[in-house]
Amino acid sequence: MPETLIRNAHTVLTMDDARQELTGADIRIRDGAIAEIGEGLEPGGATIVEAGRCVVTPGLVNTHHHLYQTLTRAVPGGQDALLFGWLKTLYPIWARFGPNEMFTSAQIGLAELALSGCTLSSDHLYLYPGGARLEDTIHAAAELGLRFHPTRGAMSIGESQGGLPPDALVEDEAAILEDCIRVIDTFHDAAPGSMCRVGVAPCSPFSVSRELMRDAALLARDKGVMLHTHLAENDEDIAYSQAQFGCRPGQYAEELGWTGADVWHAHCVKLDGQEIDLFARTKTGVAHCPCSNCRLGSGIAPVRRMRDAGVPVGLGVDGSASNDAGSLIGEARQTMLLQRVVNGADAMSAREALWIATRGGAEVLGRDDCGRIAVGQRADLALWDIGGIESAGSWDPAALVLAGPRKVAHLFVDGREIVRDGRICTIDLEKAILRQNRLAQRLSDLV
């Protein structure tokens, strides 16, 4: 791959250990990595990207998503429901999906994320109707060029057994574990710089059995991959845990092997003090999804307390059926605002929110090669043009979270340009949007 030289950046927010902020710096990209940072670097034969109007940040990291849900945004029956009611509205629609729906919705969701500064996204795909498979989303990410951590989700307790999902959407537990092994063996790449790492992710304690939670943890440890699920999302979730398992979600997770640096849980809105201590002690990660939590009225996660205690926290947009947008920079702003609502105006700075969105997310996903700008790191970079109206008149790069812009000018993933001058340049996005809208129309006609 030819070299790229990002030249004369207005500001580089490195998110390195010293949290250095550089002005007028150049960044040389070679072989997918950051090769050199300094002033007045020799261009040689490199492709030049002039960055005098740009704040450069590490690519943002999305730690929780259900990409397939971009096909079910703003569904009328689910617009004003709490989590369980919302799920019951959407399950029958999702049951009509197949491989085409999974591929297209993933591509749209990932492109939307890329435009909002995201270079690395996880995904939690926990239903496989109509012959859909995890690789439908892996192919979408590879074509677009985003770094991808898909997780093989699952549901096994249908309505007839007291679970929430319809029986048609649940799978046999032995088949789930078998398919986990298949996708890990086929697609997981543990090497540094990896573009695809697979995780194991039963959907939630209320949609799979205790045995599957335990076996999934054993399998993930055997294979050396990460574990992910939903936990302690709202009051209904806590009540379910206490009624069904006789304990809080934290204890349930701990008993089944679901704590540790190789585990991250989505939401955790309702973690109590003891559970926060447990997560801090075990370095169990949290995917904080503030817009989704607001949208579903779930509450405000105790992110300030988690961070102060030492819990690794990253950000997630969550699925587009509960957000309904997919802007990661928007989540950084929402994180900052919500912590201020609860704890006061000095409770979280814009810079801390941006740190959580980049370095924090990379740590939650077990990536020490992404999330900061330093020589030797992968070249996952977001360039934000601050010469436009959103940040006109701003005095400080914190404007990125406090004001805007909301979309990147350029985005590099592993040194490859994914967004150029504000447009996706690896796929035909207009065509993908048309395909997506046709599929959404067909689904809505069937309801």
* Site residues (vs Zn ion, CB under 5 A): 266, 318
Cα 195 to its chain centre, rounded Å, is 15
Q: Which is nearer to Zn ion, 107 or 298 (CB)?
A: 298
The CA distance from 337 to 349, in Å, is 9
The CA distance from 285 to 362, in Å, is 11
Minimum distance of Zn ion from residue 62's CB (angstroms): 12
- How would you classify residue 392: left for phi > 0, otherwise alpha for psi between -120 and 50, otherwise beta? beta
C-beta nearest to Zn ion: residue: 318
Q: What is the DSSP letter of 342?
A: H
Q: Which is nearer to Zn ion, 253 or 266 (CB)?
A: 266
Minimum distance of Zn ion from residue 316's CB (angstroms): 7
Q: Which is nearer to Zn ion, 11 or 292 (CB)?
A: 292
Q: Which is nearer to Zn ion, 142 or 294 (CB)?
A: 294
Minimum distance of Zn ion from residue 322's CB (angstroms): 7
Minimum distance of Zn ion from residue 289's CB (angstroms): 7
Minimum distance of Zn ion from residue 318's CB (angstroms): 5
Minimum distance of Zn ion from residue 141's CB (angstroms): 18
The CA distance from 128 to 123, in Å, is 14
- The residue length of the chain stands at 447
Q: Which is nearer to Zn ion, 11 or 284 (CB)?
A: 284
Q: Which is nearer to Zn ion, 84 or 309 (CB)?
A: 84
Angstrom CA distances, 376 to 58, 60, 345, 373, stand at: 13, 18, 37, 9
Cα 302 to its chain centre, rounded Å, is 19
The tokens of 446 are what? Answer: 């069937």
Minimum distance of Zn ion from residue 352's CB (angstroms): 24
Burial 381-418 (b: 16+ CB within 10 A, else e): bbbbbbeeebbeeeeebbbbbbbbbbbbbbbbbbbbbb
Burial 189-206 (b: 16+ CB within 10 A, else e): eeeebbbebbbbbbbbbb
Q: Which is nearer to Zn ion, 59 or 319 (CB)?
A: 319
